[in-house]
Amino acid sequence: MTADLIDGKAFAAGLRGRIAEQVAAMRQAHGITPGLAVVLVGEDPASAVYVRSKGRMTAEVGMQGFTHRLPNTTAQHDLLDLVARLNADAAVNGILVQLPLPAHLDEIAVINAIAPEKDVDGFTVLNAGRLATGQRAMVPCTPLGCLMLLRDRLGALAGRDALVIGRSNIVGKPMAQLLLSESATVTVAHSRTRDLPGLCRRAEIVVAAVGRPSFVQGSWIRPGATVIDVGINRTDEGLVGDVDFAAAREVAGAITPVPGGVGPMTIACLLANTLTATARVHGLPDPEGLTP
């Protein structure tokens, strides 16, 4: 059996199209244009690429983009001052501070300084707590994108056996929370997990967010399973995921490729969250199909 490819690139393009329509409708009906501010500190080349594509896609869906590039030497209080100004700026509905920050900066303090209603990455402690307790939250973009792909493929997720490999605050944990809120039966694996292959063989859904190239073996995959590969690993062979794609593809029912799977969903969901944040701050209903 050869698995179906889950085309995240095409799904994300469709999602951005729907966002653009809703942005245009919001402007026409209410005279509001959503605004997204992206803050980049330092010269990390991968971060610079992400920030450029975020800026381009923000414009493509008709939102206002504000990019703030700060030098590597930026002091903590200067960064916090900028976040405070963006919090107070009515034209800015979403704020994203590109991670990782240079080592001398306190990442947790900076993230938690973002106003929760503008926290389109969903990384503040308040939004993480809301997600964990089933309250209306801003949901981290990558797990939100994975959930959309899973729902599109599988429909209802209730009762399904799901394995999330990785427990980071930005992917693994919020992914597990989202699957739990969909009433899946969720196992979260990490570096201390025993018998990962055995857990994997039981799972109808595998979300791999490990950060190790081709780590999940084809022989671990349950026949027919849906495999979401979050990993982005730069190797001599180019970009590869956390799943041994060629081998897993022979066993799984459906699988996301890397690149072209989860990656494009992350930026699309950032735009979705910005539109949601804009609607909420103006007391409008949540936009159609963009929230969990």
Which sequence positions are flagged as catalytic? 54, 98, 121
Closest approach, Cβ 270 to ligand NDP, in A, equals 10
C-alpha span between 57 and 96 (Å, rounded) = 14
C-alpha span between 229 and 123 (Å, rounded) = 21
- Stretch of 10-18, 76-84, 85-93, 207-215 lying at the interface with ligand NDP (CB under 6 A): 207-215
Window 236-265: residues binding ligand NDP (CB under 6 A): 242, 262-263
Closest approach, Cβ 171 to ligand NDP, in A, equals 4
User: Dihedral sign, CA of 126, 132, 134, 137?
Assistant: positive
- Stretch of 87-95, 163-171, 179-187, 216-224 lying at the interface with ligand NDP (CB under 6 A): 163-171
Query: Of 27 and 212, which has the nearer Cβ to ligand NDP?
Result: 212
Say whether residue 231 binds ligand NDP (CB under 6 A). Answer: yes
Say whether residue 201 binds ligand NDP (CB under 6 A). Answer: no
The single residue among 9, 167, 201, 280 that binds ligand NDP, judged by CB under 6 A, is 167
The single residue among 15, 131, 163, 210 that binds ligand NDP, judged by CB under 6 A, is 210
C-alpha span between 287 and 112 (Å, rounded) = 25
Query: Of 232 and 275, which has the nearer Cβ to ligand NDP?
Result: 232
In the bound complex, which residue of the shown chain has the CB atom lying closest to ligand NDP?
A: 168
Query: Of 209 and 279, which has the nearer Cβ to ligand NDP?
Result: 209
The single residue among 33, 168, 181, 187 that binds ligand NDP, judged by CB under 6 A, is 168
Query: Of 210 and 221, which has the nearer Cβ to ligand NDP?
Result: 210
Say whether residue 8 binds ligand NDP (CB under 6 A). Answer: no
Say whether residue 205 binds ligand NDP (CB under 6 A). Answer: no
Query: Of 27 and 259, which has the nearer Cβ to ligand NDP?
Result: 259
Backbone angles phi, psi at 21, to 5 degrees: -65, -40
Closest approach, Cβ 130 to ligand NDP, in A, equals 20
| HEC per residue, the chain | CCCEECCHHHHHHHHHHHHHHHHHHHHHHHCCCCEEEEEEECCCHHHHHHHHHHHHHHHHCCCEEEEEEECCCCCHHHHHHHHHHHHHCCCCCEEEECCCCCCCCCHHHHHHHCCHHHECCCCCHHHHHHHHCCCCCCCCHHHHHHHHHHHHHHCCCCCCEEEEECCCCCCHHHHHHHHHHCCCEEEEECCCCCCHHHHHHHCCEEEECCCCCCCECHHHCCCCCEEEECCCEEECCEEECCECHHHHHCCCCEECCCCCCHHHHHHHHHHHHHHHHHHHHCCCCCCCCCCC
- Stretch of 90-98, 104-112, 123-131, 204-212 lying at the interface with ligand NDP (CB under 6 A): 204-212
Say whether residue 188 binds ligand NDP (CB under 6 A). Answer: no
Contact residues for ligand NDP, defined by CB under 6 A: 142, 165-168, 170-172, 189-193, 196, 209-212, 230-233, 242, 262-263, 266
